[in-house]
Amino acid sequence: MDMRALGKTGLNIAPLVFGANVFGWTVDEKTAFSLLDALVDAGLNAIDTADVYSAWVPGNRGGESETIIGKWLQKRPSLRDQIVLITKVGWTLGPQQQGLSERWIFEAVEGSLRRLQTDHIDLYFAHRPDPETPTEETLGAFGRLREAGKIRAIGASNFNTGQLGDALAVASAFGLPRYDVLQPEYNLYDRAGFDGALSELVQQEDIGVISYYSLASGFLSGKYRSQADLGKSPRGRGIARYLDQRGQCILAALDTVAEGLEVQPAEVALAWVMARAGITAPIASATSMSQLESLVRATQLTLSTEQIALLDRVSS
């Protein structure tokens, strides 16, 4: 599988990143191991998680996803150098366990390393902006972790154009590490936050982009077409907002392209993201082997100019 350079990080990743937010939620440990084995066999090499996954599940505390990945790596140590391991810090785990202060970053990274059972994280994200902490403090902390060999590269998740631009300016002014990867929400339905100024900035600055919610929480799979479908999965409640006229038009266009190519709508939706200027790779999750196989097929799919134009038009 062809690899893509991830900005200026020195890391190369496959055209699709596996989202492990489902581990410890809708995917148990045994299934997770099977999925991870299969993704490596298929040539995918990047796994995205976070310290907070999956704290929203009743009985969970956060760290469940990292723990499962760590157990898998422990059983397959020869694979560690093949994997680009991505995790995040900054979301709320507890009253004193949130944000991007030096104190919390230093504490959180040790927890992530312990759960992941590794001595380094390939790409460490600031999970969201922290207006309470000076940017130079945050970047300085990341810099010291990088010097210590605990992380290789840093990224910013959920930053808008102004926030990313300001962080780049601080890095330049203070001689600190800069964010070389952005993780924005981006899919056929949710385009406004990335298209335009933010896309232009990352391309101008050679910043890699790994987009999340690439299938709009599953809506773009075509599985959810009416209110009656929302009970099909734990994600159903969050999908209701997509069931408007624009969402239905996007699904109809996906159906048209998918039928013409004899593939699934989700594969077309992912191929569209992979073809976008400025996007390095989308993140997508799988809870079954058939879904993982579909993700792999998406990386092998090339859309025509006409197909891309149709999807651009209905989703603009």
198 to 53, 62, 91, 240, 274: CA distances (angstroms): 27, 30, 22, 27, 17
Work out whether the CA dihedral 3, 273, 142, 145 comes out positive or negative: negative
Cβ contact 156:163 at 8 Å = yes
Cβ contact 173:167 at 8 Å = no
pTM for this predicted structure: 0.96
pLDDT in tens, 159-192: 999 999 999 999 999 999 999 999 999 999 999 9
Query: Phi-psi category of 177—alpha, beta or left, where left has phi over 0 and alpha has psi -120 to 50?
Result: beta
Token pair listed for 252: 């109809």
Helix boundaries (H) for 161-283 = 161-174, 197-204, 236-239, 245-261, 265-274
Domain that holds residue 124: 4-315
> How many structural domains compose the chain?
1
137 to 78, 86, 97, 251, 253: CA distances (angstroms): 36, 22, 17, 45, 47
- Residue 103 sits in a domain whose CATH number is 3.20.20.100
Cβ contact 21:86 at 8 Å = no
pLDDT in tens, 6-63: 999 999 999 999 999 999 999 999 999 999 999 999 999 999 999 999 999 999 999 9
pLDDT in tens, 145-165: 999 999 999 999 999 999 999
Q: Which of 53, 179, 186, 224 is catalytic?
A: 53
Would you place residue 227 in the very low, low, confident or very high pLDDT band (cuts 50, 70, 90)? confident
| Rg (alpha carbons) of the chain, rounded to whole number | 19
Q: What is the mean pLDDT of the chain?
A: 96
* Residue 213 is among the residues annotated as catalytic for this protein: no
